[in-house]
Amino acid sequence: MTTKPTLLLALALAATASLQAADYPQWGGGNTRNMVSDEKGLPIDFDPGKKYGPKAAPKIAGRLRPNAEEANKQPGAEDIDMSTTKNCLWVAKLGSQTYGTPVIANGQVYVGTNNESPRNDK
């Protein structure tokens, strides 16, 4: 009698595992390191004037960063014109040197930097 519930549990766990979004946990992506995401339905173009919702805005240290229009007003970002920039959903000012490639995990983008850039203490 315990075989049927165990089988149903195993099938349910297998189904939920296949529904997860793919992270980009290391340089080059997953174990293949071919720089290609396995995600389906990724956007090809971003409209800088469109509102994409709160999940599109990056978080840094758990705080929601400003959208691209607001981030463009930050010191040092004056040279970015979001009305003419193509395929840029948001911007974030980094230090003068970054280390490695961005890592995407759990809906967050992580970038190693020396933080030489002034911080926004808001």
Q: What is the full DSSP assignment across 79-95?
A: T--TTT-SS--------
Per DSSP, the three-state class of 21 is coil
Look up the pTM and report it: 0.35
For residue 113, list its beta bridge partners.
Answer: 98
- Confidence (pLDDT) at 107: 75
> What parts of the chain have a pLDDT lower than 70?
1-2, 8-9, 11-30, 35, 43, 46-93, 115-122
- Looking at residue 108, what DSSP letter applies? E
Please list, residue by residue across 23-60, b when 16 or more beta carbons sit within 10 angstroms of its beta carbon and e when fewer do.
ebeeeebeeeeeeeeeeeeeeeebebeeeeeeeebbee
- Confidence (pLDDT) at 17: 54
Q: CA 7 to CA 29: how far, in whole Å?
A: 33
- Confidence (pLDDT) at 46: 63
Alpha-helix residue ranges (DSSP H) falling in the chain: 3-18, 68-71
User: What is the radius of gyration, based on Cα positions, of the chain?
Assistant: 19
- Confidence (pLDDT) at 56: 54
